[in-house]
Amino acid sequence: MKIVIFGANGATGKILTKQALEAGHIVTAVTRHPKTFPLQDVHLNVMGGDVFDLALVEQAVAGQDAVLSTLGVPFSREPITIYSRGMAHITQAMKHSSVRRVICVSSSATGTNHETGGGFIFDKILQPIVMSTIGKTTYADMKEMETMLRKSDFDWTVVRPSGLFETETITDYRVAENHISRQFTSRADLADCMLKQLATDKYSRKVIAVATFSAQPSMLKFMLQEAFKEPAKS
């Protein structure tokens, strides 16, 4: 299958691109920093560009069978538009090229159920603080992206992970509609979940949650990672 990945140079995007190539897909990886993209393959086309550039997005989407987006930015108190404006350009390009399938990453924080099973301090104190302060503009823009897709007639799937962390391999993760009561999601699991949606319409026009159960990071390590996260080179 021919697929284009936006946000390909981010932490999840690189894993997704690698898994897609290993699965035999022909991949166009869109990144603002093509010179730093670490992967090379005969079936990989690295395209330099920004999702805010509609002409570039239309060029990237043309001729593809599906679009996958792992676009993301660090938390900020400033307004964020990469999710909504990025998806607006992606869907406009899809319409122009008659591409139907789009799979994108959102967050478990955009749902109405915020129970993670992480205990009182995490669920009732730490998580609400993040959602109402440094994460407020991020989650608002994600919700706008989700609303945009719901109102469209595309074959979309929104994938909501919980707190993202690294594992060496794909684990025996779980998927459910809308929500899973779990704190963390491995990026390898998230990428695998996204790719699996290409082969099924089970979750077409639905929101799904993906969570890792067999491994998890230490809470201290995770919080430090989020606090000192560098801007993604997507």
52 has a pLDDT exceeding 90: yes
- Express each pLDDT in 146-196 by its tens digit: 999 999 999 999 999 999 999 999 999 999 999 898 889 999 999 999 999
pLDDT in tens, 76-100: 878 899 999 999 999 999 999 999 9
Question: How much is the pLDDT for 159?
Answer: 98
Quick check: 227 pLDDT over 50?
Answer: no
Q: Which two tokens stand for residue 140?
A: 């608002």
- Are β-strands 155-161 and 44-48 bridged in parallel, bridged antiparallel, or unpaired? unpaired
Residue 202 has pLDDT above 80, yes or no: yes
Nearest to 171 by CA among 201, 109, 203, 216: 216
- pTM for the model stands at 0.90
> Among 169, 155, 171, which residue's Cα sits nearest to residue 211?
171
- Per-residue pLDDT for 18 more than 80? yes
Query: Which of 76-80, 116-120, 228-232 holds the top average pLDDT?
Result: 76-80
3-state secondary structure the chain: CEEEEECCCCHHHHHHHHHHHHCCCEEEEEECCHHHCCCCCCCEEEEECCCCCHHHHHHHHCCCCEEEECCCCCCCCCCCCHHHHHHHHHHHHHHHHCCCEEEEECCHHHCCCCCCCCCHHHHHHHHHHHHHCCCHHHHHHHHHHHHHHHHCCCEEEEEEECEEECCCCCCCCEEEECCCCCCEEEHHHHHHHHHHHHHCCCCCCEEEEEECCCCCCCHHHHHHHHHCCCCCCC
Exposed, middle or buried by CB within 10 Å (0-12, 13-18, 19+), for 233? Answer: middle
Q: How far apart are CA 234 and CA 32, in angstroms?
A: 6
Residue range 203-216, pLDDT digits in tens: 999 999 999 998 88
Average pLDDT score over the chain:
90
Radius of gyration of the chain from Cα atoms?
17
Does the structure show a pLDDT above 90 at 223? Answer: no
